[in-house]
Structure 1
């Protein structure tokens, strides 16, 4: 089953282009992104509310699917430090696939500007990914613009495959406003990047679950009420940062 995450913005950009800001085009418009760390019980409550009011993502089995990503960082933990220090603009590269189908890989660049996010994505052949895992980074020359940008990061920032992040995602959508609400649970960290394409589920497991709300210009009150939980504040939660606690 072909599965992918339609996180790309489909409306006009929310900010004018800046040399310091994220790249923006039809597949990389800036969107609002809010994240909350939640408990397993919160997840049960939210799932019941969201199923009753929103539509399940049509790309998954009742909106549910497994996600696996390989994140890049350097020996100085540049990407991790920028996240922990709250840098106003930051970006990270990852290779991702869904439902264990490693024959359908995508290279993605996720950019954050305060609470706005943008994502650029392009297909990556499995053979190219395996070459990268072997350390043959010149294979990226044969890819698209994003592959070439990653290659520049490998050369200038010494980016390398660092951590595998694997989790279960349940996604809900509301077309007006291009709204997407996801519940990410069973978050697992893989400490061996070279095993990114290997079958099986990485260990150990992070206990946290994450609620993410993404939208273009505004979030309707009824959706905000759906995801409201007592004593929960919006936070710049990162599954990558959580999984880095294990190595």
Structure 2
């Protein structure tokens, strides 16, 4: 599939709850809450990740492959009215996301193994997933869920998010259910992931507000965390 998108910088930090409180307080002085967030400033994300029997996507992450890709289906706040198929391309600290909206009926057909309709779909990304489900044997593997608190800043197209309560359905293979059965992945209650995304530059004011003693940039994959038990 030809890429016509744009790479963005993506930095990740694992932080404790006390660090979250301090950083959030500083950011709120200059950043605004994402307008898509709810009244409490958050929303829930659920993502169904694809991989094959050899765990291609997982192994590429663990082995530190510089350029890799993952497919996922994503929806928000347990509503099936907006479902997107996404392909995330990662190249070191740069990332790019391609997405295509699919209907609930199409999503349920895909998850049940009915994929014939995908080859003639109007969205190129849907057709690409069909080909890779055939050639690489990609299949839905796990549902990753978490709460996201997002903030945005116009200069540099900056987006800062706090992701918490990361949960996995690793041992439960049914997807798109009204009642999700999953388990917590965090070893320390209250820990969360701070993500910082921006285009060509990170404004100095945001960089200064993010500086916190003891936190270090690190590679972190929610998919990897949700597959760590198998």
Confirm or deny a common fold (TM above 0.5).
Answer: yes
TM-score, normalization: structure 1? 0.86
Aligned length, in residue pairs:
224
Partner residue in 1 for 2:202? 219
The answer on whether the counterparts of 2:145 and 2:167 sit within 8 Å (CA) in structure 1 is: yes
Work out the CA distance in 1 between the residues paired with 2:208 and 2:120. 47
Superposed CA RMSD in Å reads 1.6
Partner residue in 2 for 1:160? 139
Q: Which has the higher contact order (CA 8 A, sep 6+)?
A: 2
- Which residue of the other structure, out of 24, 42, 48, is the alignment partner of 1:70? 48
Work out the CA distance in 2 between the residues paired with 1:219 and 1:236. 19
Work out the CA distance in 1 between the residues paired with 2:81 and 2:161. 24
Structure 1 residues 202-211 or 143-152, which shifts more?
A: 202-211
CA shift at 1:23, angstroms?
A: 4.8
What does the per-residue CA deviation read over 1:198-242, in whole Å, with 9 as the maximum and x for residues that have no partner? Answer: 123442112241100000001012111222222222112110000
CA shift at 1:137, angstroms?
A: 2.0
Work out the CA distance in 2 between the residues paired with 1:150 and 1:227. 37
For the structure 1 residues 123 and 193, does the alpha-carbon distance in structure 2 shift closer, same or farther, using more than 3 Å as the test? farther
Counterpart mapping for 1:15-54 below 5 A:
23-25=2-4, 28-54=5-31
The answer on whether the counterparts of 1:37 and 1:210 sit within 8 Å (CA) in structure 2 is: yes
Structure 1: runs of 5 or more not aligned: 1-21
The answer on whether the counterparts of 2:52 and 2:136 sit within 8 Å (CA) in structure 1 is: yes
Work out the CA distance in 1 between the residues paired with 2:118 and 2:229. 29
1:59 and 2:42 equivalent? no
Structure 1 residues 230-239 or 189-198, which shifts more?
A: 189-198
- After the TM superposition, list the runs of 4 or more consecutive aligned residues in structure 1 that deviate by more than 4 angstroms: none
Partner residue in 2 for 1:123? 101
The answer on whether the counterparts of 1:190 and 1:202 sit within 8 Å (CA) in structure 2 is: yes
TM-score, normalization: structure 2? 0.92
Partner residue in 1 for 2:113? 135
Work out the CA distance in 2 between the residues paired with 1:34 and 1:194. 31
Work out the CA distance in 1 between the residues paired with 2:65 and 2:204. 30
What does the per-residue CA deviation read over 1:16-55, in whole Å, with 9 as the maximum and x for residues that have no partner? Answer: xxxxxx9532xx2101000111122222222222222201
